[in-house]
Structure 1
């Protein structure tokens, strides 16, 4: 279990690094910022006007609703983007797990939250992608086999989510909440354990640095099932081989979970590739970032947007907030200790776990499985929402406050780094 957790964390760090580079590309590009500002004007203006005449419920069972819901939802999506960005930038782990539960806490239906989260990932990717920087460790054969499988998996996940929602919208929310509760509970417990372990020891654990094969990976690589894909030639003399069928199966599993949860899928790709197939972490990072862009694009558009399950207003709000949060978080890591970073990551994950656990009783009551009054069920859900937003707000204020207080120190470090450099032909050397 510890090995799986460390592998998931390795995937989160790789995804976080990609997000940091992607948002930096957007922020540094004035044309891109201007285009983003123009795109959000139709959203900001009605938000300022409070959109009083719009309905307070998004769609019916068909999920088709207005592109703008309410002012507090739009502002809330920006806050959620900031928090997810801070988690990504400061902690160095993907903050995507926060977005779907947080959107559901704002009152957005589960399937809309999933589609919106996937679309937010895709929008960020196409606006500021740094894919060209990762092409050195993207294996074409592995990527192709994986994308074939992930296409099938994403299609299946989208069909399952839509069918479940059309059958019973409450059951759909319950299923998504339950899956998130299990996943975040697992990650939160191990993150907390990792924090207490790091306090006892000064040395950081070096997880993921070994290239030795597991017993399962050795057996998988001995199976000669065409087409065989050769990889890691630059790491292992002669390279290694794995059946493309197994890679496609991994892609299908990752795509299925990505479509159901609204995330990139890297959290499951890493343990399957590294421990299941024996692919090096180096090759896995590049291939995983490559597939996330296509998986998120295909999933958000073909499986959710076409059916009216993407809340574009909130996706843009999350994107705006994350651009700010990632940059602040990444800079703040220079003045925040590693143990504190681990502590806040554990808190953020456990806050999401508590949020979804507290939402389950009301859903069970609404489906008739347990007996609760409507007011009691709503109270339990609201307690989870208050705890969640309370904890992440403390985290956000602490990070932003730390950044503001250390601006002079950060500025001095910047000057020191650039002091004594010579500018030749407009290029600093």
Structure 2
């Protein structure tokens, strides 16, 4: 039981770290005229005619690297672009209001709308990369980046991203239905675990004031047991880091950094996430790296990991829906800012409750989609009536819960405008 509690704390800390990154990136973009200009330039093809743009890109790609066929049947329409903006807004609201990465609803939402799993993954990665490359201010964090750690980590991350992209593409080429089932199954496992512990944490918080951040802070201040054991293993080459935290610094074998990068890169490439939700807990809990060094290195690695995976493993093969990515980027910038403001007028217990509910919504959506995938693969025999009911529960339930959450956050925002402007909010 202790293992699962530690794993829960591990994943929650990672989700919160990724949310902080998302908020910083969106703030950097919205507060800079130059970055807003770049965003406007990126959106020009969308407003001039996203379908024509997607069609031109598809025709320009040689057939041996995907070409137009990879986009079907997810061609551009104004409705699809509008839906992508709403998906981005909801994901941003979750990130800003709850303080945990809202990307876990993006792939389920896109797949529910009929986008192929591999296309949803590639598009989400591209949206993260666009946000990272526009919003990163690396020079502010360079003092906290260990170059040796970052470069060694990226060796593993690039290898992992390559393998993850290859796995997704190979499965898709073999059978598109199997590809959707594979990606859906991964989300079912990850979201199921998060949903169970998020809900149990919320129920506990209603009866007592338990604060997760306290535990995470204590672990970050000193080297956890696993970090101590790994740092005690002397396998050359040894890397020295955290000289500004510990006299003489801390030392770790490069092999563990490469392994950690490989895990993060593969997860990012398979699931369509930036990898930040894994980097923070692996560095702090597993490798014993200080939280300050971890934050700087995390920002550094997301740019390269997401960029490499998005472009080399998906874009050149035609598995990125550009107009969707731009819509999600635009929506998430708005949602994150509003969500972070609303936290000032909402009790912490309520925020926990909505985190638990939104994660559960994502889990419900994917677990209800799984029976149809299994039947199409011939693993189970189910009636069409049953599948229609299950799919309806998963899709309608998901969108009702996420929409209700979004309406609730906007209601809190607009009804508390006077309080927020006066500065009286906590």
Fold shared, TM-score > 0.5 on shorter chain: yes
Aligned position for 1:326: 336
Q: Which consecutive unaligned segments of at least 5 residues does structure 1 have?
A: 52-58, 418-429
Structure 1 pair 270/38, CA: closer, same or farther in 2 (3 Å)? Answer: closer
SS of 1:208 mapped into structure 2: helix
Aligned position for 1:423: none
Aligned-pair CA distance for 1:196: 1.7
1:180-200 alpha-carbon deviations (Å, 9 max, x no partner): 011011111111122122222
Task: Provide the rounded CA distance (Å) in 2 between the counterparts of 1:66 and 1:359.
Answer: 19
Task: Provide the rounded CA distance (Å) in 2 between the counterparts of 1:15 and 1:359.
Answer: 27
SS of 1:242 mapped into structure 2: strand
Task: Provide the rounded CA distance (Å) in 2 between the counterparts of 1:17 and 1:268.
Answer: 14
Aligned position for 1:179: 186
Task: Provide the rounded CA distance (Å) in 1 between the counterparts of 2:363 and 2:158.
Answer: 29
RMSD: 2.4
Task: Provide the rounded CA distance (Å) in 2 between the counterparts of 1:204 and 1:335.
Answer: 18
Aligned-pair CA distance for 1:34: 4.1
Q: Which consecutive unaligned segments of at least 5 residues does structure 2 have?
A: 55-65
Structure 1 pair 295/73, CA: closer, same or farther in 2 (3 Å)? Answer: same
Structure 1 pair 66/188, CA: closer, same or farther in 2 (3 Å)? Answer: closer
Say whether residues 1:411 and 2:421 are aligned partners: yes
Aligned position for 1:13: 16
Task: Provide the rounded CA distance (Å) in 2 between the counterparts of 1:236 and 1:37.
Answer: 45
Aligned position for 1:256: 266
Aligned-pair CA distance for 1:39: 3.4
Task: Provide the rounded CA distance (Å) in 1 between the counterparts of 2:128 and 2:324.
Answer: 12
Q: Once structures 1 and 2 are overlaid, which stretch shifts more, 81-90 or 218-227?
A: 218-227
2:50–2:323 contact (8 Å) kept in structure 1: no
Task: Provide the rounded CA distance (Å) in 2 between the counterparts of 1:14 and 1:135.
Answer: 18
Structure 1 pair 31/235, CA: closer, same or farther in 2 (3 Å)? Answer: closer
Q: Which has the higher helix share?
A: 2
Task: Provide the rounded CA distance (Å) in 1 between the counterparts of 2:209 and 2:30.
Answer: 36
Task: Provide the rounded CA distance (Å) in 2 between the counterparts of 1:192 and 1:95.
Answer: 16
Aligned-pair CA distance for 1:35: 4.1
Say whether residues 1:207 and 2:215 are aligned partners: yes
Task: Provide the rounded CA distance (Å) in 2 between the counterparts of 1:43 and 1:15.
Answer: 28
Structure 1 pair 25/60, CA: closer, same or farther in 2 (3 Å)? Answer: closer
Size of the aligned set, in residue pairs, is 408
Task: Provide the rounded CA distance (Å) in 2 between the counterparts of 1:333 and 1:261.
Answer: 28
Task: Provide the rounded CA distance (Å) in 2 between the counterparts of 1:171 and 1:60.
Answer: 21
SS of 2:70 mapped into structure 1: coil
**Pairing partner for 1:395 from 402, 405, 408:** 405
Q: Once structures 1 and 2 are overlaid, which stretch shifts more, 140-149 or 124-133?
A: 124-133
1:80–1:102 contact (8 Å) kept in structure 2: yes
Task: Provide the rounded CA distance (Å) in 1 between the counterparts of 2:234 and 2:134.
Answer: 41
Say whether residues 1:110 and 2:117 are aligned partners: yes
Aligned-pair CA distance for 1:324: 0.8
Give runs of aligned pairs for residues 247-286 of structure 1, distance below 5 A.
247-286=257-296
Aligned position for 1:221: 231
Q: Once structures 1 and 2 are overlaid, which stretch shifts more, 29-38 or 141-150?
A: 29-38
Runs of 4+ in 1 over 3 A off after TM superposition: 44-49, 59-62, 64-68, 211-216, 373-376
Aligned position for 1:79: 86
1:150–1:251 contact (8 Å) kept in structure 2: yes
Give the TM-score of the pair, scaled to structure 1.
Answer: 0.89
1:262-307 alpha-carbon deviations (Å, 9 max, x no partner): 0011233233322322222332222122111110000000000000
Aligned-pair CA distance for 1:19: 1.6
Aligned position for 2:58: none
Aligned-pair CA distance for 1:46: 4.7
Task: Provide the rounded CA distance (Å) in 2 between the counterparts of 1:222 and 1:405.
Answer: 55
Aligned-pair CA distance for 1:38: 4.5
Q: Once structures 1 and 2 are overlaid, which stretch shifts more, 266-275 or 309-318?
A: 266-275
Structure 1 pair 31/349, CA: closer, same or farther in 2 (3 Å)? Answer: same
**Pairing partner for 1:69 from 34, 56, 76:** 76
**Pairing partner for 2:320 from 310, 317, 325:** 310
Structure 1 pair 101/406, CA: closer, same or farther in 2 (3 Å)? Answer: same
